[in-house]
Amino acid sequence: MADTTTQWIKVAEEPRALSFNAEQIAVVNIQGQSYCIGRYKDQLFGFAYRCPHAAVPLSEGYIDNHGNVVCPLHFYKFSLLNGRNVSGEGYYLKTWPVACRPDGVYLGLPPEQSAKEQC
């Protein structure tokens, strides 16, 4: 049965084509909207470009040794697995699945979000 809850959007031909910074975060743009792809222990994770607290670019943060993206402004930490704020402030980071397939790297977005981006 096909997955109708996720729209898979190709963001790169292969993982090596993503421009990861020294902190293992790459930024991809889909129809004018930026998203982050983080690499942790050879796995890729999709998450929001901006921190849910202060809206600073998370691409300027880093991924810690526990698999959390750390905001560069206030050092709030968010799990790459589920977006949960693990440093205790109560915010949630939007996260999306990333799939590596033989024909490329895909970011899985909800259909309603993908439709908004096409407008």
Question: Which has more pLDDT, 2 or 30?
Answer: 30
Domain 7-117 in CATH: superfamily? Rieske [2Fe-2S] iron-sulphur domain (2.102.10.10)
3-state secondary structure of 21: coil
Residue 109's pLDDT band, with cuts at 50, 70 and 90, is: very high
Phi, psi dihedrals of residue 39, rounded to the nearest 5°: -115, 125
Q: In whole angstroms, what is the distance from residue 70 CA to residue 28 CA? A: 19
Confidence (pLDDT) at 113: 57
The β-bridge partners of 45 are 38
Handedness of CA 55, 118, 83, 44 (dihedral sign): negative
pLDDT tens string 48-89: 999 999 999 999 999 999 999 999 999 999 999 999 999 999
C-alpha distances out from residue 76 to 19, 52, 65, 69, 86, Å = 24, 10, 14, 8, 8
The β-bridge partners of 25 are 38
Q: In whole angstroms, what is the distance from residue 112 CA to residue 104 CA? A: 23
